[in-house]
């Protein structure tokens, strides 16, 4: 078996280049329009230049009118039930129509990529055949029936025909019409009759797949030196394998029960003397011959052992490639998996509003890269031939039957919210379950915060962290409103939260926990997110989502992983660590040192810390609801804009128990000296040393750190002036 993935990188680069050119031409259009506008405005334009510029603009803005009509005719007359192509008459074919590729000046349609669109029935005559400049045609994985459209002979420029996985019947076309043909895949249809000898007239042919049809008769001599990929398996072909095709492995002819595949079965060539046939008579062997045989056998044995060692080595390499953190490209890995588990009767199911144009075959042929391995399976980044990139998760150990799995996917697939990563498609077969999401190039919040293995972590400023928290809170709150307010995410953690186009948090991997039953034990790095009660019940709830979100907020605040080492070998859960630090002193120590360099954010950090701690309450019933949490997180920033603060209650920590100073004491520059000697009340264990105080002037807040040296901090206060008044808000002790 072969797939176009074998030629995938070539296709890919070609399409990337094309889409780049397409985008370039689009931006050029805008630039020219702008240029045109400014010239017009200046009213100093030379009429000749106006004409030339107008001609250029109109040629670039041109839409291929004839081709548009042909495509509209096609879409109007073919049944397509599953997905809307959204080909609007008003819109530009070349820049907005899904699956359509134009040439450089947008005057002609040269490519049609419409796999898996749910097309049914016959291709309406005199529609696609009018796209006379068409080079690339892909209608794979639809349910198109009838005979091969005879009017396709008009498409003289075709180089690629991909019609596999349809329901075509009748005889194969006469290939002599297409002189430039290089890739033909008509496999997995119901074509019958014999393979036309005209195939050999396609002198540029590189790949020919006619497998899984009902073709019969002898295989013609396809003497095309450029042919690299061939598959004629699983037909009813008879006779012998022609000499020109004997260079291909025997497997490409398998599944043709009446085809003689053995070379010795070839009839003697005309004129060949009968005695040139190998003699079947056994001859007596002499001692030297015997020795030769023994040496030969030994050499053969050595070669076999070497091959075995090589095979074991490459297996180990493959296994290593699947390890998390290894982002090495593993081209073909999706394909490899498919060749074992692909079930032709199952297709990728897309959700409404999804603009992606690919099918399972495309996905499996895409060049793939392992993004990581989680509790639910391995996630791949797949780059498709039309330059779309998606994330494909291959689920392992799905407990649900097809019907329940599909029901769950329908619930998830219809969620559309700017803070929830949309499920684009899924695939279910007995052996294989896949879910497809958009690919987030920036990586997850986990990767941004902690860096992937071997990479330097990205610096995330407070603004960004706040936006991530707000987005994630909104997303989870929305998820909790779905399925009559019963939907649970079940796996909230930093590696499942990404940044949307506005750089707000965006939650992915919804509801997978419920299709894996019972929940798999968490991988080590995920254990810190799991609410205490889930460890026993193995059942995620909305309250356990709240706990996990609390851990996520702590991760944003501290820059530490949900489970991390503290000095020795011991692994500590983030919630426990934060509790222990807060119990000992107040809060400043828990914050990510990277954040401490920003002025005026301490209050906001403290507020987020309070929210996080309330989410991570041990008892599920004490945790707030996600909708309320989302409001609180949003209000963190509003507080600083002068609106009502949302938190009145102080933290239950030693430092804040004497918060009676809050808003009461006034410090001016003349009293700063006195302030420096301010003595906090004695604790039962003795005098406490002042560690820091918060001063507030109008809406600006300042943190004075005593332990690090007050003077340096005072100088750092912007606008600190003689006679200014500051409110002493809070203080803390070392
Ligand atoms: N849509 C996506 N875009 C970019 N990266 C992704 C996408 N989905 C997952 N990843 C990344 O791929 C890696 C593996 O993800 P995966 O979801 O399989 O495991 P996980 O998040 O580590 O654990 P779990 O299976 O429990 O969710 C993670 O680093 C994740 O951030």
List the residue whose alpha carbon is closest to atom 1 of ligand 1.
439
List the residue whose alpha carbon is closest to atom 24 of ligand 1.
374
Lowest-pLDDT range, 60-69, 134-143, 447-456, 620-629? 447-456
Locate the ligand 1 atom nearest the alpha carbon of residue 378 and give its number: 18
**Model pLDDT for residues 215-230, shown as the tens digit of each residue:** 999 999 888 888 888 9
Report percent pLDDT > 70 for the chain.
Answer: 64
**Model pLDDT for residues 260-293, shown as the tens digit of each residue:** 765 433 333 333 333 333 333 334 556 677 777 8
Lowest-pLDDT range, 294-308, 524-538, 658-672? 658-672
pTM of the model: 0.54
Q: Is the pLDDT of residue 652 over 60?
A: no
**Model pLDDT for residues 510-561, shown as the tens digit of each residue:** 988 777 755 555 555 678 899 999 877 778 899 999 999 999 999 999 999 9
pLDDT at 111: 87
Choose one of 489, 495, 505, 510 to mutate for the ligand 1 pocket test, by most ligand atoms within 8 angstroms of C-beta: 495
pLDDT band of residue 366 (cuts 50, 70, 90) is confident
**Model pLDDT for residues 76-95, shown as the tens digit of each residue:** 888 875 455 678 888 888 87
pLDDT at 217: 93
- Would you say 427 and 348 are in contact if contact means Cβ atoms under 8 Å apart? yes
Of 720 and 371, which is predicted with more confidence?
371
User: For the sheet containing 349-350, what is the strand order?
Assistant: 349-350, 423-428, 433-438, 389-395, 377-383, 367-374
Q: Is the pLDDT of residue 132 over 90?
A: yes
Strands 377-383 vs 367-374: parallel, antiparallel or unpaired: antiparallel
Tell me whether residue 625 is annotated as binding: no
List the residue whose alpha carbon is closest to atom 21 of ligand 1.
495
Q: Is the pLDDT of residue 505 over 80?
A: yes
pLDDT at 400: 83
pLDDT at 424: 87
pLDDT at 674: 31
List the residue whose alpha carbon is closest to atom 17 of ligand 1.
374
User: For the sheet containing 665-667, what is the strand order?
Assistant: 665-667, 726-733, 690-697, 700-705
Measured in angstroms, how far is the CA atom of residue 420 from the centroid of ligand 1?
14
**Model pLDDT for residues 171-223, shown as the tens digit of each residue:** 999 998 888 888 898 998 999 999 999 998 888 888 899 999 999 999 998 88
Q: Is the pLDDT of residue 724 over 60?
A: no
**Among 40-49, 81-90, 135-144, 700-709, which range has the highest average pLDDT?**
135-144
pLDDT, mean of residues 238-262: 86
**Model pLDDT for residues 601-644, shown as the tens digit of each residue:** 878 888 898 899 999 999 999 999 999 999 999 988 864 444 33
Choose one of 379, 388, 457, 500 to mutate for the ligand 1 pocket test, by most ligand atoms within 8 angstroms of C-beta: 379
Locate the ligand 1 atom nearest the alpha carbon of residue 525 and give its number: 22
Give every CB contact of residue 539 below 8 A, 6+ residues apart in sequence: 518, 519
Residue 533, classed as helix, strand or coil, is helix
Measured in angstroms, how far is the CA atom of residue 215 from the centroid of ligand 1?
44
List the residue whose alpha carbon is closest to atom 14 of ligand 1.
372
Locate the ligand 1 atom nearest the alpha carbon of residue 390 and give its number: 1
Residue 396, classed as helix, strand or coil, is coil
Q: Is the pLDDT of residue 60 over 60?
A: no
Of 50 and 160, which is predicted with more confidence?
160
pLDDT at 295: 82
| Placement of tokens 């498409």 in the chain | 155
Backbone angles phi, psi at 207, to 5 degrees: -140, 135
Q: Give the CA angle between residues 391, 629, 419 to the nearest 5°.
A: 25
Q: Is the pLDDT of residue 259 over 50?
A: yes
Measured in angstroms, how far is the CA atom of residue 444 from the centroid of ligand 1?
7
Locate the ligand 1 atom nearest the alpha carbon of residue 444 and give its number: 31
**Model pLDDT for residues 93-121, shown as the tens digit of each residue:** 887 787 788 888 889 998 888 877 778 89
pLDDT at 503: 92
3-state secondary structure 154-173: HCCCCCEEECCCCEEEEECC
pLDDT at 343: 55
What is the tally of helices (H) and strands (E) in the chain?
A: 19, 29
Measured in angstroms, how far is the CA atom of residue 428 from the centroid of ligand 1?
20
Q: Residue 591 gets which letter from DSSP?
A: S
pLDDT at 586: 53
pLDDT at 195: 94
Lowest-pLDDT range, 124-128, 615-619, 708-712, 727-731? 708-712
E-only strand ranges, 189-280: 190-193, 207-209, 214-218, 229-231, 236-240, 259-260
Question: Taking all residues of the chain, what is their mean pLDDT, rounded to a whole number?
Answer: 72
Give every CB contact of residue 68 below 8 A, 6+ residues apart in sequence: 93
Measured in angstroms, how far is the CA atom of residue 379 from the centroid of ligand 1?
6
Give every CB contact of residue 111 below 8 A, 6+ residues apart in sequence: 18, 100, 101, 134, 135, 136, 137
Distance of alpha carbon 32 from the chain centroid? 35
Q: Give me 638's structure tokens.
A: 């509003």
**Model pLDDT for residues 672-685, shown as the tens digit of each residue:** 333 333 334 444 44
Locate the ligand 1 atom nearest the alpha carbon of residue 373 and give its number: 18
**Model pLDDT for residues 463-480, shown as the tens digit of each residue:** 999 999 999 999 999 999
User: Which residue from 654, 476, 446, 630 is spatially nearest to 556, judged by alpha carbons?
Assistant: 446
Distance of alpha carbon 539 from the chain centroid? 27
Locate the ligand 1 atom nearest the alpha carbon of residue 446 and give its number: 31
Lowest-pLDDT range, 14-28, 472-486, 645-659? 645-659
Measured in angstroms, how far is the CA atom of residue 516 from the centroid of ligand 1?
16
Locate the ligand 1 atom nearest the alpha carbon of residue 437 and give its number: 1
Measured in angstroms, how far is the CA atom of residue 437 from the centroid of ligand 1?
11
pLDDT band of residue 596 (cuts 50, 70, 90) is confident
pLDDT at 669: 34
User: Own/partner pairs for 562-566, CB < 8 Å, 24+ apart?
Assistant: 562/493, 562/494, 562/525, 562/526, 562/527, 562/528, 562/529, 563/524, 563/525, 563/527, 563/528
Measured in angstroms, how far is the CA atom of residue 378 from the centroid of ligand 1?
8
User: For the sheet containing 160-162, what is the strand order?
Assistant: 100-102, 109-113, 136-138, 160-162, 183-185, 207-209, 229-231
Measured in angstroms, how far is the CA atom of residue 462 from the centroid of ligand 1?
24
3-state secondary structure 70-90: HHHHHHHHCEECCCCCCCCCC
Locate the ligand 1 atom nearest the alpha carbon of residue 441 and give its number: 4
Q: Residue 420 gets which letter from DSSP?
A: B
Residues with CB under 6 A from ligand 1: 371-372, 374-376, 379, 391, 393, 437, 439-440, 443-444, 447, 491, 495-496, 508-509, 526
Backbone angles phi, psi at 726, to 5 degrees: -130, 145
Measured in angstroms, how far is the CA atom of residue 419 from the centroid of ligand 1?
17
Q: Of how many residues is the chain composed? A: 734
Of 565 and 306, which is predicted with more confidence?
306
């Amino acid at each position: 078996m072969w797939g176009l993935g074998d030629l995938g990188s070539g296709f890919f680069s070609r399409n990337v280049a094309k889409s780049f050119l397409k985008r370039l031409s689009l931006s050029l259009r805008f630039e020219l329009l702008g240029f045109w506008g400014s010239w017009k405005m200046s009213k100093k334009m030379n009429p000749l230049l106006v004409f030339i510029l107008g001609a250029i603009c109109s040629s670039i803005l041109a839409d291929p009118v004839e081709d548009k009509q042909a495509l509209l005719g096609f879409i109007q007359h073919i049944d397509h039930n599953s997905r809307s192509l959204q080909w609007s008459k008003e819109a530009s074919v070349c820049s907005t129509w899904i699956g359509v590729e134009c040439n450089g000046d947008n005057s002609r349609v040269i490519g049609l990529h419409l796999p898996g669109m749910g097309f049914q029935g016959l291709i309406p005559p005199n529609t696609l055949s009018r796209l006379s400049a068409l080079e690339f045609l892909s209608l794979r994985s639809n349910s198109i029936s009838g005979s091969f459209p005879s009017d396709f002979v008009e498409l003289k420029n075709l180089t690629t025909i991909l019609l596999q996985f349809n329901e075509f019947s009748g005889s194969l076309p006469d290939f002599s019409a297409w002189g430039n043909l290089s890739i033909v895949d008509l496999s997995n249809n119901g074509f019958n009759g014999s393979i036309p000898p005209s195939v050999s007239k396609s002198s540029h042919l590189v790949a020919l797949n006619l497998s899984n049809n009902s073709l019969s008769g002898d295989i013609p001599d396809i003497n095309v030196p450029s042919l690299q990929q061939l598959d004629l398996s699983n037909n009813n072909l008879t006779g012998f394998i022609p000499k020109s095709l004997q260079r291909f492995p025997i497997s490409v002819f398998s599944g043709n029960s009446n085809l003689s595949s053995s070379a010795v079965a070839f009839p003697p060539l005309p004129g060949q003397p009968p005695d040139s046939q190998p003699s079947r008579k056994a001859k007596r062997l002499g001692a030297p011959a015997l020795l030769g045989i023994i040496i030969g056998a030994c050499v053969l044995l050595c070669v076999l052992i070497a091959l075995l060692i090589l095979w074991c080595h490459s297996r180990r390499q493959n296994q290593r490639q699947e390890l998390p953190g290894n982002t090495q490209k593993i081209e073909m890995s999706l394909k490899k998996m498919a060749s074992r588990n692909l079930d032709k009767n199952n297709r990728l199911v897309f959700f409404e509003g999804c603009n992606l144009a690919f099918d399972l075959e495309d996905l499996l042929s895409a060049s793939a890269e392992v993004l990581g391995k989680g509790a639910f399976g391995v996630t791949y980044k797949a780059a498709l031939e039309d330059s779309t990139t998606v994330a494909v998760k291959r689920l392992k150990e799905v407990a649900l039957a097809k019907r329940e799995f599909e029901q769950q996917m329908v619930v998830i697939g219809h969620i559309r919210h700017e803070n929830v990563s949309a499920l684009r498609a899924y695939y279910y077969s007995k052996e294989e379950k896949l879910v497809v999401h958009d690919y987030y190039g920036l990586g997850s919040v986990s990767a941004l915060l902690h860096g992937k293995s071997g990479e330097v972590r990205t610096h995330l400023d407070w603004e960004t962290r706040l936006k991530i928290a707000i987005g994630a809170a909104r997303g989870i709150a929305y998820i909790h409103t779905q399925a009559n307010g019963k939907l649970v995410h079940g796996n909230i953690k930093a590696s499942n939260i990404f940044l949307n186009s506005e750089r707000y948090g965006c939650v992915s991997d919804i509801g997978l926990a419920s299709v894996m039953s019972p929940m798999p034990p968490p991988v080590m790095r995920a254990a810190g997110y799991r609410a205490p009660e889930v460890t026993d019940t193995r059942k995620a709830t909305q309250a356990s989502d709240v706990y996990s979100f609390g851990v996520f907020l702590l991760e944003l605040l501290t820059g530490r992983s949900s489970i991390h080492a503290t000095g020795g070998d011991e692994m500590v859960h983030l919630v426990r660590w934060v509790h222990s630090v807060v119990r000992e002193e107040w809060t400043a120590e828990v914050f990510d040192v990277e954040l401490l360099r920003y002025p005026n954010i301490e209050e906001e950090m403290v507020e987020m810390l309070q929210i996080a701690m309330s989410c991570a309450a041990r008892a599920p019933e004490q945790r707030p609801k996600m909708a309320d949490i989302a409001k609180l997180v949003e209000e963190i920033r509003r507080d600083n804009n002068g609106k009502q603060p949302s938190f009145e209650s102080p933290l239950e920590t030693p430092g804040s128990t004497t918060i009676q100073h809050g808003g009461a004491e006034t410090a001016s520059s003349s009293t700063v000296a006195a302030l420096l000697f301010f003595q906090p009340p004695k604790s039962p264990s003795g005098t406490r040393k002042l560690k820091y105080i918060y001063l507030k002037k109008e809406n600006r807040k300042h943190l004075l750190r005593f332990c690090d040296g007050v003077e340096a901090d005072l100088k750092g206060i912007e606008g600190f002036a003689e006679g200014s008044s500051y409110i002493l808000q809070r203080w803390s002790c070392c």
